[in-house]
Amino acid sequence: MKPVAFDYYRPQAVPEVTALLSQKGDEAAILAGGMTLGPMLNLRVVRPRAVIDISRIEALKTISVTSKVVVTGAGVIQNHALSSDVIAMEIPLLAMALPWVGHFQTRNRGTLGGSVAHADPSAEIPLALVVCGGSVVLQSRRGQRRVPAREFFIGALVTQRQPDELITALEWPCSAPDAGHAFLEIAQRHGDFAIAAAACSLRVGKVDRIEELSLGIGGVEDRPVSIDVRRFLGHPAGEIAVELSEHAAISVTPMEDHSATADYRTALTKVLVERAVSSALEMARRRRDHL
Amino acid sequence: MLEPIETISKRWVGSAVARKEDQALLTGQARFIDDLSPVPGIRFAAILRSPHPHARIGRIDLARALEVPGVRAIITGRDLLGMIGPLSSIVKAPLAYYPIAIDKARYVGEPVAVVVADTRYIAEDACDLIHVDYELLPAVTDPGSATMRDAPVIHENVGSNVISRRSFRYGNPDAAFAAADRAFEFSYSFPRYASTPMETFGVIAHFERAPDRYTVWSNFQGPFVVQPLIAGALRVPGHRLRLITPPSSGGSFGIKQAVLSYILLLAAVSRKTGVPVKWTEDRAEHLTAASASSDRLGTVAAAFARDGELTGLRFKNTASTGAYIRPPEPASLYRMHAASNGCYRVKNISIDNELVVTNCTPVGLNRGYGGPQFYFALERIMEIAARGLGMDPAELRRRNFVPVHAFPYQAPAGAVFDAGNYEAALSELLRIADYDELKRRREESRRGGRLFGIGMAAGVEPSGSNMAYVSLAQTAEDRRRADPKSGANASAVLAVDPSGQVTLRLCSCPNGQGHATVAAQIVADALGLHPDEIDVATEIDTATSAWSIASGNYSNRFAAIVVDAVAKCAEQVAQKIKLLAADALDASAEEIELREGYARVRGQSNKGLPFRKAAARAHWNPAGLPGSTSPGIHETSVVSPSILASPDDDDRIASAVTFGFVIDLAAVEIDRRTGAIRIDKYASVHDVGTQLNPKIVEGQVYGGFAHGLGAALFEELAYDDQGNFLSGTFADYLCPTAVEVPHIEIGHIETPSPANALGAKGMGDGSSMLTPAAITNAVADALGRDDIALPLNLGRVWAFANAHESTTGRRRSVSATRPARSTVSDALTGKGEVTLSAQVEEVWRRLLDPSELAAIIPGCRGLTQDGPDRYSAQVVIGVAGIRGTYHARVEIRDKAEGRSLRLIGSAVGPLGFGSGSGFVDLQPETDGRTRLAYRYEAQVGGKLAAVGQRMLGGVMRYLIAQFFHSLERRISPADHPSWRNWWLRLRRYERRGGEA
């Protein structure tokens, strides 16, 4: 369990990284927190020629906020995000998702950008980003581009990132003050890869109808999926949790592996959506009535 | 740090003394095997292991690996043939166990070659470059299938996978069943798991000449009965194999016993290469190939009288030993044998044992050792019977317990239960668990439609094994022909040096249990000193330690036997000190008492001599010693409980010296919609005899429970139906963490054992033997069905909770042998569809044209035609940096011209291997285009299967889709959709369930 020999780079700034990436392309692996890359290197599952350590680039560690969007640097440590007032206030869904990410110890090194770049189908941060309607900011020598999270994740471990690109930041639209959110998952043990996860954000109007709704499922397909819920807008909130749970269960095409059958994942989708929507609804009503 | 003198007059044994070992452990000062560098010039080994469960080994090409700078040598199995012999076994079936594969690999992870290099990094680089030709053979991994007539034969010399069969009858079981009012039967399968100590195996082997001798440093824990076996396999006299254990151990739970194979392997490699060689096992190696508990298939039947008296038991066991039989196996099948009545007074017992080999890692010691399997049978059938008889399970057990007045109790199969009060323990359990309240809450939950269940399990805990019990695997006739075996020698050496300082040396090989602490308590009491004043050395060096064949750390033997040796040699030293002090104080030895660091004349507090001054006289003034007192203070005690005799001709044996008692109760609530089990309450009552150190007892109780909980809920060393190993990392093999282990209510009953000077019984296995049964009983009670198998993970419990078929009620016979996992296909399957802008004939032509195929297969580097419709190619396959060059073979079969074909393929590369088949169907469309539909099935083995199981399906689908996208791009270069759109289209197709 020792990695293959590789060249190690520790650039101080993003242009150095993109310069290296333009030379090395897919021969390079980017090291942020190392919580996934470390084991993969040791198991020799990945054998990069070069490892580019971005953990010392301060510019990637900032959390900034405008009136509409929170920008988290790709290198923001998960536990820092978890203790950030800005994130608690403006992106409650991310704040709810983070305690599910690995363990306290791994969150001390794992980063927001690293989780998005790795694109594990069960990962919580990508699911939160999809449900928030956020974007991934990619930088290369060719320029900068933004990819909506809903398009960014292609399959298990596969994303829109090109080999010469670095994820520099994630953009999270600020939550409305009267929105309700919930993040739930089922894993064998706390901190394990989710067998299924559900995230929900919604707003209800004065007459208790759904005004905004976003619902996503993780761990069930090979990437986090956003459920098409347009036809539920304007619906009365009363029965919405059960309706959405049935809708979500027929919308997903679940994977099957040795930890769970497709039927089990479908059943979990149903119960998690029902519970997440109920919980988000309760929060939304509370916040609406409080405003 | 010495406590103030006035507080140390108490008796140390029985008090919660803080552990001596912890300061070094907690401050990083403890030295483990990997910290040692005992000789100069050590080189580092890495082991190339078989990725296949069953394969004949052909040519091994070392050329490229040997070119790596820093590689010193590479040793294969054939290189060692002649230098070492197989490890011998008590089972006489003709299967040879070598620590490295010679002609065939028989389990995933079996060593195939050892690379010796300047660093471990280099050694692993070289492993990657070794090419082995494997001829793959069909594999069998579960013990039931291994006994089938058409099963692949793992050892041709044996001719079958069954390597031993023995039947035992105690009392008259047939008559008991014939006369029974009610009888119940339960069939089950019990998975393999392992207790995963934090520290993995480590070996430093050094061969020297003149005379030829081996010195091996290793975290070996015993039993040292295998030292002569290793020496025998190395073909040297016993004293030419010197084993040394490091000062500290990072845990074992029995597993470290299996390091013996690597001691043998690395010793031989050191001899062959002429350098000292160090090998430290990594976690992937440990999970894959170290050892495991024995997986078992069993049937148990119980006969009852109408009033609930248990009158007969029948056990049928088919136990797996893994691919070989590694000593001291088959001990795991026989550990509980002499106590097959459990804690009950049933007299009539039949046992039919079958030992089978499978294409799995050899089994060995693991916490509970045979107990979890045995109690899963016995305590599940007791619960099933209680329901069938309409009795409370607690009451049914109480009615059948060995009664308190019957101790010492001779069990039908020979065990002698030294002391106990099982009824009192049960009463204590029901009290601390608040049983009546739990039953009330169960009723309330059920009325509310919730799933709430209560389960119990009770059993005796054998400790201090008779070395002879494993010979039950032989017939009495075979035993008569062999040299007699019996007993359980334990030794202790206590020395007081010229400055009066006390050092105890043990051969108990602790792996974290706190032997040094408890031994110091015992010595401190005998010598009137503080435990901090007693140094305890627990390193073993077979050249200098007072070891014997039973030495080591296993079967809870420390508190059952070793403490007796400690107490005896402490008493010998105390007697000597008293003689010396009596001489100095002008009193008789009988008048001297040792207290508070002094030897004093009893009743005359002013007349005393400091302990160290009394001791010093034996060293400094031998000429002035009284009477026949020998100079120096260096006392050795070797004990073996006399009760541990050889088995008799009726296969009865006193298998252990003390029998503790454990009774557990679990209450669970299950979320029907997710399968999640919440442990509402867990209570556990233990009778460990005298508690030598309650703090250590508590730690052991919790630890045993945690291991039992892991086995019940999470842990399985899993193989797929092809024999590929699936649990190669801690992300795949799930152990409970602090979050998953609930608080437990612990109670104690103390019935002191007459078997040793301190009244202690062995302990440590504890609930690891009973928790799997107790939790399963609770889950069965909650679900109202008994056909449930371990581990009770989420998906499985959900399936049990939501399946309509139920087997509860009054049915006599229940089977839980089919794990719910069998409903999940082990193969990766998928399908897709694409419409191509070309006529069917054109598509057909391209699919069969090798140059076209080379262009279509993504990452294809050089495709050659090996025959009609047979190709081989080098292909770069991968996603997201997980990439490698694979050697692929493809064959086209079942061609229906212009309509359909089947592709059969395989690939081998650095991350593993795979094989599969795909069916391609072509349909003409009206617009001149062609609709191509495909479906596939694939199996993946090797490293990726062991560490990346969760991702394989998704990645496979992605790669296969790329192939067909590439075909489309080739056919219509101008207007093919982008890969992304194509992929999204495929997803929509899948979402509609394949109906385009």
DSSP A202-253: EEE-TTSBEEEEEEEEESSSSS-EE---GGGTT-BSTTHHHHHHHHHHHH--
Asked if pLDDT for residue B808 goes beyond 60, the answer is no
Enumerate the residues of chain B whose CB falls inside 8 A of the CB of residue A40. Answer: 881-882
Tokens of B451: 């799933």
Q: A157 and B880 in contact by Cβ < 8 A?
A: yes
Task: Name the domain count of chain B.
Answer: 3
Same domain, A107 and A158: yes
Mean pLDDT for the stretch of residues B230-238: 97
- Name the residue with tokens 């596939």: B936
Same domain, B840 and B985: yes
Distance CA A93, CA A128 (A): 6
Which of B671, B950, B952, B982 to mutate to probe the A interface, most A CBs <10 Å? B950
List, as ranges, residues 18-57 from B with C-beta within 8 Å of A.
Answer: none
Which of B287, B798, B956, B982 to mutate to probe the A interface, most A CBs <10 Å? B798
Domain of B570, CATH number, reads: 3.30.365.10
Give the distance from residue A177's alpha carbon to the nearest chain B alpha carbon, in angstroms: 32
Closest-approach residue (CA) in chain B for A270: B673
Question: pLDDT value at position B819?
Answer: 46
Q: A271 and B674 in contact by Cβ < 8 A?
A: yes
Same domain, B798 and B852: no
Higher per-residue pLDDT: B822 or B730 = B730
The pLDDT-based confidence of B29 (bands split at 50, 70, 90) is: very high
Domain of A146, CATH number, reads: 3.30.465.10
Domain termination residue (choose one: A173, A192, A213):
A173
- Asked if residue A189 is part of any domain, the answer here is yes
Confirm if B736 and B767 have CB atoms less than 8 A apart: no
Q: Alpha helices of A141-223 — where are they, by DSSP H?
A: 149-152
- Asked if residue A1 is part of any domain, the answer here is no
Widest Cα–Cα separation across chain A: 64
Question: pLDDT value at position B821?
Answer: 41
Q: Calculate Rg over the CA atoms of chain B.
A: 32
Choice among A123-137, B531-545, B928-942 with the minimum mean pLDDT = B928-942
Q: B951 and A48 in contact by Cβ < 8 A?
A: no
- This complex has an ipTM of 0.95
Distance CA A50, CA A58 (A): 21
Distance CA B432, CA B447 (A): 25
- Domain span at residue A184 reads 180-290
Same domain, A148 and A210: no
Same domain, A76 and A48: no
Asked if pLDDT for residue B361 goes beyond 60, the answer is yes
Domain of A258, CATH number, reads: 3.30.390.50
Q: Which residues make beta-bridge pairs with B635? A: B494
- Asked if residue B943 is part of any domain, the answer here is yes
Q: A40 and B884 in contact by Cβ < 8 A?
A: no
Domain of A32, CATH number, reads: 3.30.43.10
B881 → closest Cβ in A5, A48, A251: A48
Tokens of A49: 């020629």
Domain termination residue (choose one: B614, B639, B664):
B639
Which of A6, A42, A157 to mutate to probe the B interface, most B CBs <10 Å? A157
Same domain, A121 and A16: no
Choice among B16-20, B515-519, B600-604 with the minimum mean pLDDT = B600-604
Give the distance from residue A29's alpha carbon to the nearest chain B alpha carbon, in angstroms: 7
Same domain, B667 and B791: yes
Give the distance from residue A153's alpha carbon to the nearest chain B alpha carbon, in angstroms: 11
Same domain, A111 and A80: yes
A131 sits in which H/E element: helix A124-132
Tokens of B898: 């212009």
DSSP conformational letter for B2: P
Same domain, A69 and A147: yes
Chains A and B form CB pairs within 8 A to the count of: 145
- Asked if residue A95 is part of any domain, the answer here is yes
Same domain, B580 and B709: no
- Asked if residue A80 is part of any domain, the answer here is yes
Same domain, B791 and B834: no
Distance CA B845, CA B951 (A): 34
Same domain, A251 and A145: no
Distance CA B187, CA B166 (A): 19
Around Cβ B27, how many Cβ atoms within 10 Å?
A: 8
Enumerate the residues of chain A whose CB falls inside 8 A of the CB of residue B943. Answer: 43-45
Same domain, B522 and B660: no
Distance CA B131, CA B145 (A): 32
Question: pLDDT value at position B991?
Answer: 61
Domain termination residue (choose one: B577, B607, B639):
B639
**Average pLDDT over all residues of chain B:** 92
- Asked if residue B964 is part of any domain, the answer here is yes
- Asked if residue B680 is part of any domain, the answer here is yes
Same domain, A192 and A274: yes
The pLDDT-based confidence of B9 (bands split at 50, 70, 90) is: very low
Same domain, B663 and B740: yes
Q: What percent of chain B has pLDDT over 90?
A: 79
- Residues of chain A scoring pLDDT < 70: none
Confirm if A78 and A55 have CB atoms less than 8 A apart: no
Around Cβ A264, how many Cβ atoms within 10 Å?
A: 26
Confirm if B838 and B974 have CB atoms less than 8 A apart: no
Choice among B443-457, B603-617, B692-706 with the minimum mean pLDDT = B603-617
Closest-approach residue (CA) in chain B for A41: B882
Sheet holding B277-280, edge to edge: B71-76, B111-117, B43-49, B277-280, B202-208, B213-218, B241-244
B879 → closest Cβ in A5, A157, A195: A157
Residues 6+ apart with CB under 8 A from B42: B204, B275, B276, B277, B278
- Asked if residue B594 is part of any domain, the answer here is yes
Enumerate the residues of chain B whose CB falls inside 8 A of the CB of residue A31. Answer: none
Distance CA A290, CA A283 (A): 10
- Asked if residue B136 is part of any domain, the answer here is no
List, as ranges, residues 800-859 from B with C-beta within 8 Å of A.
Answer: 802, 821, 823-826
A267 → closest Cβ in B798, B911, B943: B798
Q: Alpha helices of B906-978 — where are they, by DSSP H?
A: 943-947, 949-971
Q: A157 and B882 in contact by Cβ < 8 A?
A: yes
Q: A155 and B284 in contact by Cβ < 8 A?
A: no
Q: Tell me: the pLDDT tens digits for B403-453?
A: 999 999 999 999 999 999 999 999 999 999 999 999 999 999 999 999 999
- Asked if residue A208 is part of any domain, the answer here is yes
A1 → closest Cβ in B283, B794, B802: B283
Same domain, B898 and B981: yes
B950 → closest Cβ in A3, A44, A257: A257
Domain termination residue (choose one: A125, A145, A173):
A173
Around Cβ B159, how many Cβ atoms within 10 Å?
A: 10
Same domain, A278 and A191: yes
Asked if pLDDT for residue B183 goes beyond 50, the answer is yes
Tokens of B776: 């399963």
Tell me whether the omega of the peptide bond preceding residue B791 falls within 30 degrees of 0, making it cis: yes
- Asked if residue A158 is part of any domain, the answer here is yes
Angle between helices B226-234 and B260-273 in degrees, nearest 10:
30
Question: pLDDT value at position B826?
Answer: 65
Q: A257 and B955 in contact by Cβ < 8 A?
A: no
Q: A156 and B955 in contact by Cβ < 8 A?
A: yes
Q: What percent of chain B has pLDDT over 70?
A: 96
Q: Which residues in B473-482 are b (16+ Cβ under 10 Å) and which e?
A: bbeeeebeee
Please tell me if residue B283 touches chain A, with a CB cutoff of 8 Å. yes
Choice among B36-45, B490-499, B763-772, B796-805 with the minimum mean pLDDT = B796-805
- Asked if residue B222 is part of any domain, the answer here is no
Same domain, B841 and B951: yes
Phi (first) and psi of residue B270, to 5 degrees? -65, -40
Mean pLDDT for the stretch of residues B198-227: 95
Give the distance from residue B901's alpha carbon to the nearest chain A alpha carbon, in angstroms: 27
Burial class (CB in 10 A: 0-12, 13-18, 19+), B944: buried
Mean pLDDT for the stretch of residues B299-305: 98
Give the distance from residue A143's alpha carbon to the nearest chain B alpha carbon, in angstroms: 21
Same domain, B376 and B402: yes
Enumerate the residues of chain A whose CB falls inside 8 A of the CB of residue B675. Answer: 264
Q: A44 and B990 in contact by Cβ < 8 A?
A: no
- Asked if residue B80 is part of any domain, the answer here is no
Domain of B888, CATH number, reads: 3.30.530.20
Say what the pTM is: 0.94
Q: Tell me: the pLDDT tens digits for B409-422?
A: 999 999 999 999 99
Closest-approach residue (CA) in chain B for A102: B731
Enumerate the residues of chain A whose CB falls inside 8 A of the CB of residue B824. Answer: 256-258, 260-261
Q: Calculate Rg over the CA atoms of chain A.
A: 19
Same domain, B979 and B867: yes
Strands B241-244 and B213-218 turn out to be parallel
Give the distance from residue B347's alpha carbon to the nearest chain A alpha carbon, in angstroms: 43
Closest-approach residue (CA) in chain B for A151: B980
SS (H, E, C) B7-28: HCCCCCCCCCCCCCCHHHHHCC
Question: pLDDT value at position B721?
Answer: 85
- Asked if residue B428 is part of any domain, the answer here is yes
Closest-approach residue (CA) in chain B for A271: B673
Which of A36, A258, A268, A271 to mutate to probe the B interface, most B CBs <10 Å? A258
Instruction: Using the Cα atoms of residue B400, residue B401, residue B404 and residue B407 in order, give the sign of their dihedral.
Output: positive
Closest-approach residue (CA) in chain A for B46: A1
Please tell me if residue B125 touches chain A, with a CB cutoff of 8 Å. yes
Phi (first) and psi of residue A18, to 5 degrees? -65, -30
Same domain, B964 and B889: yes
DSSP string, B977-988: PPHHHHHHHHHH
Distance CA B91, CA B471 (A): 9
Confirm if B861 and B848 have CB atoms less than 8 A apart: no
- Asked if residue A2 is part of any domain, the answer here is no
Give the distance from residue B857's alpha carbon to the nearest chain A alpha carbon, in angstroms: 19
Same domain, A150 and A98: yes
Domain termination residue (choose one: B582, B607, B639):
B639
Q: A260 and B731 in contact by Cβ < 8 A?
A: no
Task: Name the domain count of chain A.
Answer: 3
The pLDDT-based confidence of B812 (bands split at 50, 70, 90) is: low
Enumerate the residues of chain B whose CB falls inside 8 A of the CB of residue A255. Answer: 953-954
A112 sits in which H/E element: helix A112-118
- Domain span at residue B497 reads 5-27+489-504+516-534+552-639
Closest-approach residue (CA) in chain B for A30: B881
Q: Alpha helices of B35-183 — where are they, by DSSP H?
A: 63-66, 77-80, 120-129, 143-146, 173-179
Same domain, A35 and A62: no
Q: Tell me: the pLDDT tens digits for B133-146?
A: 999 999 999 999 99
Confirm if A249 and A278 have CB atoms less than 8 A apart: no
Q: B991 and A26 in contact by Cβ < 8 A?
A: no
B954 → closest Cβ in A4, A121, A192: A121
Choice among A168-177, B857-866, B876-885 with the minimum mean pLDDT = B876-885
Residues 6+ apart with CB under 8 A from A288: A178, A203, A204, A205, A206
Please tell me if residue B128 touches chain A, with a CB cutoff of 8 Å. yes
DSSP string, B453-516: EEEEEEEEEEEEE-TTGGGGGS-HHHHHHSPP-----EEEEEEE-TTS-EEEEE-S--SSS-HH
Residues 6+ apart with CB under 8 A from B178: none
If we measure between CA atoms, which residue out of B417, B415, B416 comes closest to residue B472?
A: B415
Question: pLDDT value at position B926?
Answer: 87
Question: pLDDT value at position B955?
Answer: 80
The pLDDT-based confidence of B803 (bands split at 50, 70, 90) is: confident
Question: pLDDT value at position B10?
Answer: 60
Helix (H) and strand (E) counts in chain B: 27, 36
Tokens of B381: 């059938």
Mean pLDDT for the stretch of residues B114-132: 97
